[in-house]
Amino acid sequence: MDEIPLTGGRVTRGVARIGEYVYRPCCENAAFAHRVLRWLEQKQSAAAPRFLGIAPGGREITSFLDGMSPDNLGYFSDAQLWAAGKIIRALHDALSDFPDCGPGQTVCHNDLSPCNFMFRDDLPYAVFDWDAARVGDPVEDVAYAAWMWCNVGDAPSTPADVGRKIKILLDAYGLPRETRARLIGHIHTQTRRVAASAFSARTPQWDACGHWAEACGRWLRKHQNKIQESL
């Protein structure tokens, strides 16, 4: 069968579909990511692709997820935010007893942007691109998702609207009330992490991403008290 390049989302270069399978270059973290996908398969999770092995050329093979994935951030409906929160919680629960996890930890995806979710019938249903997965505090993942999904730092959005959107995501996830007090601090951590990583690439494209992340952090510092009231 012919290879069909996959261009949805912000995919790694060289990703292609062959029949019902996806062939993708392996990353440095591939061995761990493959263990995670196998664990999710054992848990019968439908919210991630299946890892099927390594092709002769060295690319990993996963099952194909049907649907569409956004190629950039945007404005998402309340129903989409709710579905995303439910998926994140289901994945965290399924991975909370992964062998490397300690008390209160799970395997964090670490890039829960809408661009790494597959949508079907206008709702997200699965998460792909587990290259950055590692064991950590689940609130880190939730904070990054809140930033990416809820228009934090997007100038047309008001603090009240951003807070309302984040609350929908947190309610769907079931984040305890006492934990929400530290969510904004985690979002700040994520904006700094992304900015530092982007600037380290030393390219105009990634410099722009770094400046955007810094601008999001400044906007959040300005409006965080108002947003916190909504959570």
What are 128-161's pLDDT values in tens digits?
999 999 999 999 999 999 999 999 998 788 999 9
Widest distance between CA atoms in the chain: 55
State mean pLDDT over 209-226: 96
> SS3 for 162?
helix
> Does residue 180 have a pLDDT over 80?
yes
- Hey, where are the domains in the chain? 4-63, 78-230
| Burial profile 133-148: b = 16 or more Cβ within 10 angstroms, e = fewer | bebeebbbbbbbbbbb
How many other C-beta atoms are found inside a 10 Å radius of the C-beta of residue 59? 16
For 46-76, the pLDDT digits (tens) are: 999 999 999 998 999 999 999 999 988 999 9
- Choice among 46-55, 64-73, 183-192, 214-223 with the minimum mean pLDDT: 64-73
Say what the pLDDT of residue 3 is.
74
Give the model's confidence band at 18: pLDDT under 50 very low, under 70 low, under 90 confident, else very high.
Answer: confident
The Cα 184–Cα 72 span in angstroms is: 23
The partner residues of 18 in beta bridges, in order of sequence, read 21
State mean pLDDT over 26-44: 96
**Structure-token match 């012919």, residue found:** 2
State mean pLDDT over 208-230: 95
Give the model's confidence band at 94: pLDDT under 50 very low, under 70 low, under 90 confident, else very high.
Answer: very high
CATH among 3.90.1200.10, 1.25.10.10, 3.30.70.20, 3.10.180.10 for 78-230: 3.90.1200.10
